[in-house]
Amino acid sequence: MIVTLPSSCPDGRTLDAESRVWLTRLRAADRDRAVGELHGLLMGAARHEVNRRSRSLPPGSGVDLDDLARQSADDALLAILRKLDDFRGDSRFTTWAYKFALLEAGVKMRRRAWQDREVALDDDAWLRIADRVGTPDQDAETRELLRAIGVAIETSLTPHQRTVLVAITLDDVPIDVLAERMNTNRGAIYKALHDARRKLRAELAAGGHVR
Amino acid sequence: MTDDRVLIARLLGPSELELSCEACFEEIDRYVEAQLGGDDADLLVPGMAAHLEGCPACREDRDSLAGWLRVA
């Protein structure tokens, strides 16, 4: 079968030779072999990632790491094939593809690590910041800043913003875990965190605590 | 940095303009390749450094991709 090698992305950017071959093979009618090879690469990345993160799992969790890597590679492959036309050639094709596998593996491992852990979605938990105000080794500036942050959290943030801020910054809940528990996604959770931080900064600036 | 200063930095996040998580994912492959290639990745992708400072999940993803590309 004769195929025409695309020399550039839709926006005219030039592709490196290896990326061009990948795109051509994956767009061909008989792409099964290329898809299989790509899945193999994704499996390698996903296996590496789940093994690297395996220490985050609780002892005796019984997680089948190879199965989790396979699920990650499968999900990544579907996303890549769906978004093939979005590849702009800003990086090598394989680098672009690996990020999907590593994301899937990372999210799955974070969620497994927290599977049996309670996430306290309590917007009053920020009151713990008050407990840190006035510890013996604290300088006056830090003490005042913490006090002002506590006030700003109480007066400026919505309950949802307080919950997200506390879970991520005080309780170290991974964003992807919090997103799952709140039935939303990473981007929405980070947007809430970003908005909360922006409000805090504005309040602190108004009070002369930060520039 | 003291524990209190670390906490304050986490609570307030970066002060600079930053990318969203979605934009970060779009750009992370280009950013990491530039970093590994010794190019000025922060000049290439404005707002990425601030986002990685503020978002622990995307920061981990950056580290994962960079680490994997070093051994792959």
Q: What is the DSSP letter of A14?
A: B
| Domains held by chain B: number | 1
Q: pLDDT 10s digit of each residue in chain A, 211 long? A: 333 344 455 555 678 999 999 999 999 999 999 999 999 999 999 999 999 999 999 888 889 999 999 999 999 999 999 999 999 999 999 999 999 999 999 999 999 999 988 887 776 777 777 777 767 667 888 888 999 999 999 999 999 999 999 999 989 999 999 999 999 999 999 999 999 999 999 999 998 988 7
**The CATH number of the domain covering residues in A125-205:** 1.10.10.10
Q: Which ranges in chain A are annotated with CATH 1.10.1740.10?
A: 17-113
pTM: 0.90
| Structure tokens that stand for B69 in this block | 């590309």
Nearest CA in chain B to A132: B4
Q: What is the ipTM of this complex?
A: 0.94
Which residues of chain B make contact with A137, given a CB cutoff of 8 A? 2
| Structure tokens that stand for A51 in this block | 């093994």
Which of B68, B69, B70, B71 is the mutation pick for testing A, counting most A CBs within 10 A?
B68
Pairwise CA distance, residues A109 & A98, whole Å: 16
Q: Which residues constitute the domain of residue B22?
A: 3-71
Q: Which ranges in chain A are annotated with CATH 1.10.10.10?
A: 125-205
Which residues of chain B make contact with A105, given a CB cutoff of 8 A? 64
**Distances, alpha carbon A104 to alpha carbons A47, A116, A118, A150, A176, in Å:** 11, 20, 22, 36, 11
Interchain CB distance below 8 Å, A132 and B67: no
What fold, for A17-113?
Rna Polymerase Sigma Factor; Chain: A (1.10.1740)
pLDDT single digits (tens) A103-157: 999 999 999 999 988 887 776 777 777 777 767 667 888 888 999 999 999 999 9
